[in-house]
Amino acid sequence: MSLQNLNLLKDKHLQKALQHAPDSDAAPSKVLNKTVLDYANKALKVQRETWFSRLKSMFNDFKIARWKLTGMGSLAASLLVVVMIWHENPDDPIQVATAPDTLQTVAEPYVKQRAEPYAEQHAKPKIAQNELVRDELLTDQAVQKPQAVTKAAPVANEPIAASAETIAPEPEDKNEMKVFAKNRPVIPEAAPVASPMDQASVQLKERAASNEAVPMPAPVVAAPAPSVASAEVSENSVAQQSAPAIIAAEQMAEAEAKSDNADSEISSAAAKPTLTSNNALVQAISKVGGKAMANQDIQAGNLRILYLNNSVPADPPSLDNVTGYRVEFIADNSAKLAVEIATYNQAMRDWYVKQNQ
C-alpha cells in the first residue's frame, strides 16, 4: 500500500479531537492501581519463595525425618536382634510332624501337658492314688480290654447334634463308679444355679428308674460345669459332714447317675468309658474342625474330652481329671485327626475355665 494511502488511514482532525475528548484524563482509581500492583508484588513474592521455601522445607523435612528415622532405626534394630535370637540356629532342619507309630495318640500327651496348668490354677488337691495310677496308664501302652460298646442308640450314621445324644447305658460296675465318685477331686464351691435342666433331670430320674431308654430332649445350655460341680461339691460336702459319709457318698453317687445335669451323659458318667463307634463324630470333626465341633457340643451341653485310641485302657478315666467332663475314646489314630481332637479338647477346657472364673 502506498504511503499516501496509509496516511489517509490516519485522520489528524479526528486525532486532535480525540485528544480533547472529555475522557482524555480518565485514569484508574488509586484502589485499582494498588490492587494491580499488589497482585504483581505477590506474584513475585511467591516466585521467590517457591524455590526458597522448597529448599527450606527440604531442610525442615530432613530435620524432622532424622528423629523419626532414628526411632525407626532403633525399632528395626530391635526386631533384627529378636529375629536373630529367635532363630538361634537357622540351620536346624524344620521338624516335620510324623504320624504316631504306636497306638498311643499324639493328643494324649498333649492333653496331659495342657491339663497341668489348669490343674495348677485351680489348686486341685492331691489326686488319689488310684487316679495317679490312672494317669500313668494314659502314658503307657494301651492295655487291651474287651471293648464295652455303648448300649446307647447307635449314632454312627447320625450327625453329631445336640438333640441326637443318647443316654449312656447303666454303669456295669457300680463299685468302680463309687470309687471314682469318692475320689473325685474337690472342686471349688460355686453358687448353685437354678437350671432349666432340673425338670429334665427329674424326668431322667423317672425314666432311668423305669429303665426306659428315651432320647434326651434338646438340652439347653444353662447349667454348665459349675452346676455340675456345685452339685458334686454340695454332695461331697454333705457326705463329709454327715456321719455316714461313705454311705451318703455312695448314695449320692448313685443319685448322680440319675440326677440333673446339663449333660445327660454326665449323669451316667460313672459308666465305663467306651470306645465309641463314632465314624460320624470323626467325620464331623474332620469336616468342621475340632474347635467348631467343640462349640457345637458346648452349646448342646455335651461336655466331653475326647481321647484317640483304638481300644479302651484297662483302667480308663471316666472323667477328665481337670474338668470333670466325660471322657470319650475315638477309634482313630490319624495325625490330622489328632490335631483336631487336641483343638477340640482345648476348647472344652477353655470353656471349663471360663465357667469357673
Q: Which residues bind another protein (CB under 8 A)?
A: 1, 6, 8-24, 26-29, 32-33, 35-37, 39-41, 43-44, 47-48
Cβ at position 25, least distance to another protein in Å? 8
| Distances, alpha carbon 324 to alpha carbons 232, 278, 282, 348, 351, in Å | 10, 22, 23, 11, 12
Cα–Cα distance between 290 and 263 in angstroms, integer?
19
Residue 19 Cβ vs another protein, minimum distance, rounded to whole Å: 7
Give 13 or 126: the residue with its C-beta nearer to another protein: 13
Provide the grid cell at 100: 504316631
C-alpha neighbours within 13 Å on the C-beta side of residue 73: 6
User: Among residues 40 and 247, whose Cβ is nearest to another protein?
Assistant: 40
In the complex with another protein, which residue's Cβ is closer, 18 or 133?
18
3 state SS of 224: coil
d(CA 208, CA 137): 32
- In whole angstroms, the minimum distance from the beta carbon of 46 to another protein comes to 11
Nearer to another protein, 40 or 119 (CB): 40
Taking the complex as a whole, the smallest distance from the CB of residue 11 to another protein amounts, in Å, to 6
Reduced to 3 states, what is the DSSP secondary structure of residue 339?
A: helix
Q: Give the nearest distance from C-beta 53 to another protein in angstroms.
A: 15
Q: Which is nearer to another protein, 29 or 89 (CB)?
A: 29
β pairing state of 304-308 and 275-276? unpaired
Sorted by sequence, the CB contacts under 8 Å of residue 142 that are 6+ apart come out as 103, 104, 309, 310, 311, 312, 313
Query: 54 to each of 51, 60, 65, 272, how far by Cα in Å?
Result: 5, 10, 16, 84
Q: Which is nearer to another protein, 3 or 209 (CB)?
A: 3
Nearer to another protein, 35 or 199 (CB): 35
Smallest distance, another protein to C-beta of residue 2, A: 12
Give the nearest distance from C-beta 60 to another protein in angstroms. 24
CA–CA dist 324, 145 (Å, integer): 23
Residue 20 or 68: the one with the smaller Cβ distance to another protein is 20
∠ CA 100-101-104, rounded to 5°: 65
- The minimum distance between CB 51 and another protein, in angstroms, equals 11
State which residue, 33 or 60, has the beta carbon closest to another protein: 33
Contacts of 307 (CB under 8 A, 6+ apart): 105, 107, 108, 111, 327, 328, 329, 330, 341
- Helix locations, the chain, DSSP H: 3-8, 12-19, 30-86, 107-121, 129-139, 174-182, 197-209, 225-241, 245-258, 264-267, 279-288, 290-300, 335-355
CB of 33 to another protein, least distance (A): 7
> CA 240, 245, 357 angle in degrees (round to 5)?
35
